[in-house]
Amino acid sequence: GAGVSQSPSNKVTEKGKDVELRCDPISGHTALYWYRQSLGQGLEFLIYFQGNSAPDKSGLPSDRFSAERTGGSVSTLTIQRTQQEDSAVYLCASSLVRNSPLHFGNGTRLTVT
Amino acid sequence: QQQVKQSPQSLIVQKGGIPIINCAYENTAFDYFPWYQQFPGKGPALLIAIRPDVSEKKEGRFTISFNKSAKQFSLHIMDSQPGDSATYFCAASTDFGNEKLTFGTGTRLTIIP
């Protein structure tokens, strides 16, 4: 596909369960980002991958959150022991290099019941 | 800690009018100021961006005005159309990069025919 693809588009889970969110960036893009968008809020930076460098995890809100990027392409954001405050839209973006335009996916809407 | 304050929260303008959305920042290290447009159910899309060495940038009907001394920047939409109805986010970052963008809380713009 031409754009950033995220799956699933919607996820409903029970409090305490683990969830995995997937992001397929645009082919050839070296930089990949995860952001979280809560209702009525702006986007909150979570984590950033650049090539083979160690990711910048400084935005992850707790140790229940982790992310990996395999083979410099697909990324998975994992949230363990989900809480109700984790409910949000999780957005993935990619860019050719760090200072080229960001391309966002349509997000995964996570609802924790 | 909100480092980018965006106003208004919502805005209704008649077709052909010029909506203006304002953002103010605190961190003087910010040197890259993009604006994103987001339609319901979609990820944000880069609209226009400015760096602090210029006071104004135009792309089509969209103009950014930048006031470095006041630490403020604004988006103007000329000849607004109903298709411009969307949520607009300002953002800022350091080192001219996309990582760790700090976003405003968004402005929901409605253009009425």
Per-residue confidence (pLDDT) for residue B2, from 0 to 100? 58
Q: Do A98 and B102 touch (CB under 8 A)?
A: no
Under 8 Å between Cβ of B24 and B105: no
Under 8 Å between Cβ of B34 and B97: no
Band of the pLDDT at B27, cuts 50, 70, 90?
A: very high
Per-residue tokens: B97: 């990069």
For residues A2-13, average pLDDT: 96
Of the candidates B34, B43, B103, which has its C-beta nearest A107's C-beta?
Answer: B43
B89 contacts on A by Cβ (under 8 Å): 42-43
Average pLDDT for chain B:
93
Nearest CA in chain B to A33: B99
Of the candidates B34, B99, B103, which has its C-beta nearest A48's C-beta?
Answer: B99
Q: Does A43 touch chain B (CB under 8 A)?
A: yes
Of the candidates A45, A56, A58, which has its C-beta nearest B101's C-beta?
Answer: A45
Per-residue confidence (pLDDT) for residue B100, from 0 to 100? 81
Per-residue confidence (pLDDT) for residue A52, from 0 to 100? 85
Using a pLDDT cut of 90, give the percent of chain B over it.
88
Is pLDDT at B1 greater than 60 in this prediction?
no
Band of the pLDDT at B35, cuts 50, 70, 90?
A: very high
Is pLDDT at A41 greater than 80 in this prediction?
no
Considering Cα of A63, then A42, then A5, then A73, what sign does the dihedral take? Answer: negative
CB contact residues (below 8 A), chain A span 21-40, against chain B: 31, 33, 35, 40
What confidence tens digit (pLDDT) does each residue in A44-92 have? 999 999 988 889 999 999 999 999 998 879 999 999 999 999 999 999 9
Q: Which of B49, B57, B42 has the alpha carbon at shortest distance from B87?
A: B42
**Where do the DSSP E strands lie in B1-113?**
4-7, 10-14, 20-25, 33-38, 45-50, 56-59, 62-67, 72-77, 86-92, 102-103, 107-112
Per-residue confidence (pLDDT) for residue A101, from 0 to 100? 86
A58 contacts on B by Cβ (under 8 Å): 100
The long-range contacts involving B12-15, CB below 8 angstroms and separated by at least 24 positions, are B12/B109, B12/B110, B12/B111, B12/B112, B13/B80, B13/B109, B13/B110, B13/B111, B13/B112, B14/B111, B14/B112, B15/B80, B15/B81, B15/B82, B15/B111, B15/B112, B15/B113
Q: Does A15 touch chain B (CB under 8 A)?
A: no
Is pLDDT at A95 greater than 80 in this prediction?
yes
Under 8 Å between Cβ of B51 and B33: yes
Under 8 Å between Cβ of A24 and A91: no
- B48 CB-near residues (< 8 Å, 6+ apart): B34, B35, B57, B59, B62, B63, B64, B75
Count Cβ–Cβ pairs < 8 Å, chain A vs chain B.
Answer: 63
Instruction: Pick the residue of B23, B27, B99, B105 with the most A CBs within 10 A to test the interface with A by mutation.
Output: B99
What confidence tens digit (pLDDT) does each residue in B56-88 have? 999 999 999 999 999 999 999 999 999 999 999
